Chains A and B, each alone.
Chain A
Amino acid sequence: MIEPISKNGQAHNAQNTVIFLENIQKIYKMGTELVYALRGVTIGVGENEYIAIMGPSGSGKSTLMNIIGCLDTPTSGNYFFEGVNVAGLEDNDLAEIRNRQIGFVFQTFNLLPRSDSLHNVELPLIYAGVGKEERRRRALEALEHVQLADRAHHKPNELSGGQRQRVAIARALVTRPSIILADEPTGNLDSKTGEEIMRLFNELHAQGNTIILVTHEEDIARHAARIVRIKDGLVESDEMVAERALV
């Protein structure tokens, strides 16, 4: 296990920037009208940071998350991922970055319903071209990490919501990505299970992972060390959390 970087759990380290978004704009065309989802967002995230992106619906928060997750590309601006500008990359190159550098955790878990936990966790490794033996070993390791090794051969519908989300987190961890991008990870869970999941994120952060949390819940956001608020496609505020919610 990796030691937490700083004692109070605030591990902001601005020297080692993992991602840096510079004046990102995203403009959609709806019929003849132009919709400005993002109007020039600039954010940097350092290694082992734990940051929450907040905002009401329609704020551009989801668009920002899609761009950070390399699922979408900005209309203009630069996006440096580990120093590489990925703003203009094409589909297949973005797929490779998602595969190797980003671990996704979704509100609706997004597990393959017909596959067991092990196969779901293996999935990113298949696309990374990892051989079967090693894949299996690493997937089991990741499942152990979220205390679900005994559920390796259960399908999602045989698991509770919290367990499903932990499988999804194992899937996000298995490639040892640069960032973990969690989109409302507790949105479909009851508050007790939600707390368990947030505790897991705190642990992952303490172990050195960089976590970006997208949420509209203040309570959830307060687990992060830093909160970026988005409104009308712009960064409204970007501040460190004085009193983190520690579970």
Chain B
Amino acid sequence: MLRFFHDTVEGVRMAMGALRANPLRSALTMLGIIIGIVTVTLMSAFLTGLTEMFHETTSFMGTDVYYINKFSWGGGDWRSQMNRPNVTLEEARELRQRMTTAKAISVNDQKGNIELKYGANELEDLRAVGVDAPYEVTGSIEMDQGRFFATQELESARPVCIIGYDIWDALFHKANPIGKLIRANGYTLEVIGVAKQVGGMFGEFSTDREVLMPLQTFFNAYGQPDPMLTIAIKAKNVLQKEDTRAEADFQMRIIRRLKPTEKDNFGVNSEDQFNQIFDGLTSGLTIVGLTITGLSLLVGGIGIMNIMFVGVKERTREIGIRKAVGARRRMVLAQFLAEATMLTLVAGSIGLLLAYAASLYINAKVLTADSSVHLHFTLVLILSGLAISLGIGVASGIVPAWRASKLDPVEALRYE
């Protein structure tokens, strides 16, 4: 054990001497690994950032909320789902009476392609959402300004609305909107509040670009319920949300009088489904992205191996001398292996530093938009970067080092 430690320390010392003797060559050889580590870690940081952003932004939907829709999200036969009955307000009412594991059950309807006007300002391609009182809970609505709808406003179908943050920004240029009248596809509404910004990749699909109004107001403005009617059910207990899901499914089957042999003719959807779809996408991206950037590391490794072969050849006589004065095979092997791994470890560390600096710069100067991906450096990333560097050093150094250790001392001493 002590001997092994001694050998390792001496091997590293000899390797340092050799690397210092050839600084330019060492630097050029390291360049390949540096570039490889920079590209791979930046790619990983990007993928990590992408995944995190997605999970963060889908959480606006709430991990403990289930959505009863006509359609099931993410797959299934779309054409057969067309023939399902629409979700109705009556079903929402019945669910509210029956369900015991729900904290809140809301029903909402929505319509796209809404155009808002305030004075001379116009904003297109928005969504109108008709909501009820529990929507404040199921939709996790938090107010930036003003207030949520009062019961009385909801029941009497008052022409009031809550606008999303982006709408407020674009239509009012962040001036006070409360009490102002806006026109939504010709229907006049009074603004009573602004919802907090959601942001992120899905800001587009969140309340940021929605105008909320009482459900009855929505029907008055845009007509009767359409197939997009959604019942949102928030679980009483996050930890037992699967029970809530099972109960929602069970109660809906009773309400719709489905026989045990019949399949569900409605969808019980959740954010998890989105995440699953996305995880499939990112794992594909990860494999492709890391394989392509990994190629540059492979090239770097080949460079190291090449220079190690040259080094062994050049120093044949040195190896002969070392063997003549008593170097065992293991020591010669250790010396050259230490040389290769030190090259890659130093290069890997430089690469990680550069990649980190680059990620700070890119986050600060390039990916500045709130909604865009950010490069995310993690400790795991740094540690695996170093581990990979070490692995490449061993992999590319082992054959040249083994060849050096096998040299015949007589031949090696004769080498010119």
Footprint of B on A, CB under 8 Å? 66, 69, 71-72, 91-92, 95-96, 98-100, 104, 106, 110-112, 114-115, 123-124, 126-129, 131, 171, 175
Contact = CB atoms under 8 A, between A and B. Distances in A.
A91 B329 contact: yes
29 contacts: A66-B410, A69-B324, A71-B409, A71-B410, A72-B410, A91-B329, A92-B328, A95-B327, A95-B329, A98-B324, A98-B325, A98-B326, A99-B325, A106-B413, A110-B320, A110-B413, A111-B321, A112-B318, A112-B321, A114-B21, A123-B322, A123-B325, A124-B326, A126-B10, A127-B325, A127-B326, A128-B326, A129-B3, A129-B6
A217 to B, nearest CB: 21
B17 interface: yes
A126 B18 CA distance: 16
B70 interface: no
A210 B18 CA distance: 35
Contacts of A124: 325-326
A92 B329 contact: yes
Contacts of A126: 10
B328 A127 contact: yes
Contacts of A98: 323-326
B331 A127 contact: yes
B321 A100 contact: no
Contacts of B410: 66, 71-72
Nearest to B326: A99
B317 interface: yes
Contact of B322 (A66, A91, A114, A127): A127
Q: Which 8 A-B pairs have the closest CB atoms?
A: A99-B326, A124-B325, A127-B326, A95-B328, A92-B328, A71-B409, A110-B321, A98-B326
Nearest to A62: B410
Contact of B326 (A100, A106, A115): A100
B324 A115 contact: no
A96 B10 CA distance: 17
Contacts of B409: 71
A100 B326 CA distance: 8
A69 B325 CA distance: 10
Contacts of A131: 6
B326 A71 contact: no
Which of A69, A100, A128, A129 is most buried by chain B, counting CB atoms within 10 A of its CB? A129
Nearest to A131: B6
A98 B318 CA distance: 16
